[in-house]
Structure 1
Amino acid sequence: MTDPLTAESTSRYVEAAGVRIHLHEAGATGAPLLLCVHGGAPGAYGWGNFGQNVEALAAHFRTVVVDLPGYGRSDKPAIEGGRYGFYARVFAALIAELGAEKAHVLGMATGGAAAIAMAVDHPEVVERLVLVSSAGGLPLFTPSPSEGQQVIRSYYQDGPPTRERMRAYLEMMMHDRSLVTDELVEERFLASVDPEFMAGAPEGRGTPATTEQLWPRLHEISARTLVVWGRDNRVQGYDNALFMLNRIPDVEVHLYGRTGLWVPFERARRFESLVTGFLTDD
């Protein structure tokens, strides 16, 4: 019997572009590389976003789930210049450090913007692209800032972080509030009050890095792209997905009803099947 994949059994570090990146790796060494980049929010980190999907994805791909610089157990460097371009440079170098020429790149929310920056600045390392509830688009009818963006910004600003505030954030992020368990709240709350996170992550109390506008460059994406969204996403409205549909040259869009931002969690099995089919379809 194969031992179950856990956060600790898959954990390791790789230095890329001068940044020590913490990641989780699972799957056959010779399989296509799939790089998964998490979203940015209070207490966000790689396994927290994609841990439930690793086993299914690792059956088909050499699956690598990273902690963004500034998050989780990765280094927390000061970022000069655009945040998304910085992430793209680090992850392009990481692909080479992992011994691969190219990778499929799956990015969610902030991780989606990092993936877009990789696709336009370093197209030679991106095989196919999956954007989930991605930043980097342009809302057509959602107010800006959105309801969810205001909740995220207020987490550290309206008094000290609390478990109650973390629960409210998670319930806003997901359509099915029954999925917000005490264990999930505790896990994300403790991550959100980690002193290094609060000092180094843009959603913490540190000085936010510059975020570039990527929507004018979406037409530069040459990689075949899958855009995945939840209709009930209150952070990044699905109108962003419609904008991407009109701008990215080789693109398809999948929308889930009764689903919020965290599609890989709320629709885990269907999401895994969708992504696997897209990445293996010739």
Structure 2
Amino acid sequence: MPLTRENTSRFVQAGATKVHYHEAGSGPVLLCIHGGAPGAFGWGNFGRNFEALSRHFRTLIVDLPGYGKSGKPEIEGPRTSFYAQVFRDMLGALDISSTHVLGLATGGSVGLKMAIDYPHVVERLVVINSPGGLSLFQPTPASAASHDYYGGEGPSMERMRAIMERIVYDKSVLTDDVIRERYEASVDPEFMARAPEGKGGKPGQSLEPLWQDLHKIEAETLVIWGRNNQTMNYDNALFMLNRIPNARVHIHGKCGLWVPFEKAAEFNQEVIGFLSVSL
């Protein structure tokens, strides 16, 4: 039976937060955490990788609190710490003692924070184009402000396309269906009212800096970057390589932020290899 959004959909109560996730496969657990942006959700970020990953791992693709079908709690304090605690509680509720963690952008920052605060929980870590390091050589490029998406005339397919064109190198991979799926998620009334990147997101509530604590990470770590990422330069990956004790880096040429989508086959192969091979 093919894996679909419907037949893999699950819910679990993680402390005070209801978390929605997709599950398939068996074996070592792999927790996949998506990035944060208008209309972002787990399946939208990793649905293209789910079948390949689930052949090797018990793969859990989560919706961050505030996104997708997960609960939309009021978040007090740093978001990264809040998310990390929610996913620790989620694993406990599922009777999972430890997991590999794979995170894109915001999701990778959450993985870093989990590895710092709960080292016994994280076995190996894959971080993709994620805040947490520092730029060594270049100023951070100016990025399109997500909150502007809801300003002025409001959300539209054209505005969503403009946002998504900034996260890929090859714009031809962005079909109308891909844009429409993300746009429809971005105009969900609850998302707009409560999500951090929604219309009602709290101004100034950002991810906390992690660079000073990266040396505390004990997990074997693979840092993946797109050389053509327009939001953060690839020298952030080199900073992480220097700071995380057991780290290695793979930088993809002709690739933007959304590596799991643009380079799906190669990405799947490198992640499966890294998580499966004895180091």
TM over 0.5: yes
Contact 1:228-1:253 within 8 A present in 2 as well = yes
Match of 1:54 among 43, 50, 53: 50
TM-score, reference length from structure 1: 0.95
What's 2:113 paired with? 117
What's 1:193 paired with? 187
Q: Give the superposed CA RMSD.
A: 1.2
Instruction: Quote how far apart the aligned CAs of 1:193 are.
Output: 0.9
For 1:267, the aligned partner's letter is: K
Match of 1:14 among 12, 15, 28: 12
What's 1:280 paired with? 276
How many equivalent residue pairs?
276
Instruction: Quote how far apart the aligned CAs of 1:158 are.
Output: 4.1
Mapped to 1, the partners of 2:174 and 2:59 lie a distance apart of 26
Contact 1:151-1:169 within 8 A present in 2 as well = no
What's 2:239 paired with? 243
Mapped to 2, the partners of 1:127 and 1:111 lie a distance apart of 16
Mapped to 2, the partners of 1:182 and 1:141 lie a distance apart of 37
Instruction: Quote how far apart the aligned CAs of 1:13 are.
Output: 0.1
Mapped to 2, the partners of 1:72 and 1:133 lie a distance apart of 21
What's 2:156 paired with? 162
Q: In structure 2, do the counterparts of structure 1 residues 142 and 48 end up closer, same or farther at CA, with 3 Å as the change threshold?
A: farther
Matches within 5 A, 1:85-234: 85-144=81-140, 146-148=141-143, 150-205=144-199, 206-208=201-203, 209-234=205-230
What's 1:79 paired with? 75
Q: In structure 2, do the counterparts of structure 1 residues 210 and 175 end up closer, same or farther at CA, with 3 Å as the change threshold?
A: closer
Q: In structure 2, do the counterparts of structure 1 residues 141 and 203 end up closer, same or farther at CA, with 3 Å as the change threshold?
A: farther
Q: Secondary structure at the match of 2:68?
A: coil
Instruction: Quote how far apart the aligned CAs of 1:165 are.
Output: 0.8
Report the identity percentage: 57
Mapped to 2, the partners of 1:129 and 1:232 lie a distance apart of 23
Contact 2:34-2:105 within 8 A present in 1 as well = yes
Q: Secondary structure at the match of 2:120?
A: helix
Q: Secondary structure at the match of 2:233?
A: coil
Instruction: Quote how far apart the aligned CAs of 1:204 are.
Output: 1.1
Mapped to 2, the partners of 1:62 and 1:158 lie a distance apart of 44
For 1:123, the aligned partner's letter is: P
Contact 1:19-1:69 within 8 A present in 2 as well = yes
Contact 2:36-2:197 within 8 A present in 1 as well = yes
Matches within 5 A, 1:20-59: 20-28=18-26, 31-59=27-55
What are structure 2's unaligned runs of at least 5 residues?
Answer: none
Mapped to 2, the partners of 1:85 and 1:76 lie a distance apart of 16
